[in-house]
Amino acid sequence: MDAMLGFCASMDLNGIEARQVMIPCAARILVGRETQPALNKWQQVAASVYQKSKARLDKDPKDSNARNPFEKHALIHAYVLCRDKVEIPNETVAEMKKYVALYKHRQWFGYGALNYRLMNDGAGFIAAELWPDLRDADGLNADGIKAATKERLLGYFEEIVHRNTDEYGAPTYLGIDLSAMKLLADFARDPEVKQRATLTLDSMLLQVACAWNSGYYVTPASRAKYWGSTMTGPDALDTTGAVGWFYFGGLRPVSAAHMNPGGSFWFAIRKDYNAPAIFTTIATERSQPVIHRGSVGETIRFTIYHTPDYSVASEWELFNSPGDGRYKESRRNLFKWISDKPNSTFVPMQENPRRPYKLSEGIANGFGYGENPFAQSLQQDGTLLGISSVPTNYPFWKMYAPFTKDGAIVRRMERDGWVFCHGGTVLFAFRYAQPAHWEMSRAKENCDVMSSDNRKNGWVLETSPVAPFAGGGAIVELDRFASAIVSKTKLDTFNIDLAKPKISYRSLTGHQLELTYRPHGQPYSNQHQIDGKPVVYASFPLFGNPWVSQPLGGDKLILTAPDGRKRSYDFARWTAADSTP
């Protein structure tokens, strides 16, 4: 945290967006370096943000983008961090107050993403506590602003601790949510808001702990923009991974420049909030394989399989329409292994529209961005089985799988339709159900891409520790692994062309996976089976692993460390208590 603060204090002061410039401004003030230039820049930015927003509203009072919660949050968060360190000039404070006064707080107004809501209402609440003479665009005074925003904030807290967040797993936006929550946990004067924000922040950070493996953040994500945001390891942590790193660490150093300082900076300063020590134990105990299961509301379930050397994650969802906006940026499947090289990540993907809810555009999404609505997957420990059935009138269907060339794959070979890879700490194999071919390598992502061009299709990802095949070097180990896959596994694609395609696979560990495609609007009816038994997704908890337990919608969250230490939460009473054996 100290290193990140120092790095941010050396960042360029250029720019006029508060969300960017307030980071180096605040950092300089907090470390006592170039304080006056930082204060001068702060004054300029605060005035510019107000003037630009005011001009847009004068032109069009209904302009929903004239006010930006990122700017509001950055200004207020920086102010409460720095005001005890240096006197903020009255002129700067006046510009910030005028900017906050442009907002409407009586009812929610504008874009409804969770990060916008938490930043907007959270910063509005703190501003109203700071400035009793504040009056907003709805005519609310400070007490009215506090009352309106508090009601919504308490509602967000209730939803998060009982049902998770809409921005679950997001490499950037969950980190923004965490930062907005930290503002309230650190600085709210209202004891109810402060206590509930603190416990909600615990719940959110615990989600990161359960997805952590030695510096790698491995989880399905609601929002993962482009291929780069899928890396989420020591070489490209992004905001959420950076917050995890501050508390849970990893096996090798990281670069501050790759931790999205604009979002993670707020966690580099220690104030009232501190993560419970038991979280670090839960995040770092990876000596044996462990399965974590979780939920997001009623329609999303996820599985994360950790081993000491790698992790595999997947998602099941029950969305009713292929036009659901959640397909736009989601990342259902993720496989990462611990490596001394960057981009030790593999993700099977499929082309999809830029806006599934506006298919008439006919524009494809970016490489590694979002998911096709007609793809589904099934996980059993380190094995993933995928299936797809894209209608003939849908414009995007081609599957593609990027294989990194940055050194994390030590050896790669092909045999009998499979691609076999040695990752140093892991062995993995991948194949499509239908014919496949290599496309031209992508220079920007530095990867080779294998594609399969069929609307009804499927794939298998099989993983294994190196130990069962160890000895003789990477080439020999990979050959042993390949021979085992070819001789012991079986992919049955006989029913791949049915109206509701079905594939089955006998895994390297002897488990039988069967996956039948479920069309949108039809109920889940045992389409996913492992060893002849249906996967009961309805039984998945909010948190579920050997150390963490909370039913979906339940009030009791119980944490038990391997050494017997316990921490218990009661979200009906909004209390937490620790105990020792």
**Run of H or E including 144:** helix 142-163
Task: Measure Cα distances from 80 to 19, 31, 70, 83, 143 in Å.
Answer: 15, 15, 16, 6, 19
User: Tens digit of pLDDT per residue, the chain (581 long)?
Assistant: 999 999 999 999 998 899 999 999 999 999 999 999 999 999 999 999 999 999 999 999 999 899 999 999 999 999 999 999 999 999 999 999 999 999 999 999 888 999 999 999 999 999 999 999 999 999 999 999 999 999 999 999 999 999 999 999 999 999 999 999 999 999 999 999 999 999 999 999 999 999 999 999 999 999 999 899 999 999 999 999 999 999 999 999 999 999 999 999 999 999 999 999 999 999 999 999 999 999 999 999 999 999 999 999 999 999 999 999 999 999 999 999 999 999 999 999 999 999 999 999 999 999 999 999 999 999 999 999 999 999 999 999 999 999 999 999 999 999 999 999 999 999 999 999 999 999 988 999 999 999 999 999 999 999 999 999 999 999 999 999 999 999 999 999 999 999 999 999 999 999 999 999 999 999 999 999 999 999 999 999 999 999 999 999 999 999 999 999 999 999 999 999 999 88
pLDDT at position 410 is 98
Task: Measure Cα distances from 283 to 222, 418, 548 in Å.
Answer: 21, 34, 11
What's the CA gap between 323 and 355, in Å, rounded? 8
Residue whose token pair is 């997957």: 377
HSE-CB of 212 using CA atoms within 13 angstroms: 29
Least Cα distance to 102 among 46, 157, 143, 147 occurs for 46
Question: What secondary structure, in 3-state letters, does 229-275 show?
Answer: HHCCCCCCCHHHHHHHHHHHCCCCCCCHHHCCHHHHHHHCCCCCCCC
What's the CA gap between 264 and 178, in Å, rounded? 9
Q: Which residues pair with 432 in a beta bridge?
A: 459
The amino acid that residue 551 corresponds to is P
**Run of H or E including 196:** helix 191-210
The amino acid that residue 336 corresponds to is K
By DSSP bridging, strand 543-545 and strand 548-550 are: antiparallel
- Dig out the tokens for 498 from the structure: 């049915």
Predicted TM-score (pTM) of the model is 0.97
Give the burial string for 478-498 (b: 16+ CB within 10 Å, else e): bbbbbebbeeebebebeebee
The amino acid that residue 538 corresponds to is A
Task: Measure Cα distances from 272 to 121, 180, 185, 249, 355 in Å.
Answer: 20, 14, 7, 21, 41
What's the CA gap between 566 and 278, in Å, rounded? 8
What's the CA gap between 273 and 2, in Å, rounded? 16
The amino acid that residue 503 corresponds to is I
pLDDT at position 440 is 80
Least Cα distance to 199 among 560, 571, 561, 565 occurs for 571
pLDDT at position 469 is 98
Provide the H-helix boundaries in 460-580: 474-488
- 3-state secondary structure (DSSP) of residue 208: helix
By DSSP bridging, strand 566-570 and strand 556-560 are: antiparallel
**Run of H or E including 442:** strand 437-442
Measured at the alpha carbon of residue 338, what is the angle toward residues 334 and 339, in degrees to the nearest 5? Answer: 120
Q: Please give the radius of gyration of the chain, using alpha carbons only, rounded to the nearest integer.
A: 25
Classify burial at 436, counting beta carbons within 10 Å of its beta carbon; exposed 0-12, middle 13-18, buried 19 or more. buried
Residue pair 289/311 in contact (Cβ under 8 Å)? The answer is no
pLDDT at position 109 is 81
Classify burial at 521, counting beta carbons within 10 Å of its beta carbon; exposed 0-12, middle 13-18, buried 19 or more. exposed
- Dig out the tokens for 267 from the structure: 């966690």
Residue pair 14/277 in contact (Cβ under 8 Å)? The answer is no
- 3-state secondary structure (DSSP) of residue 490: strand
pLDDT at position 358 is 95
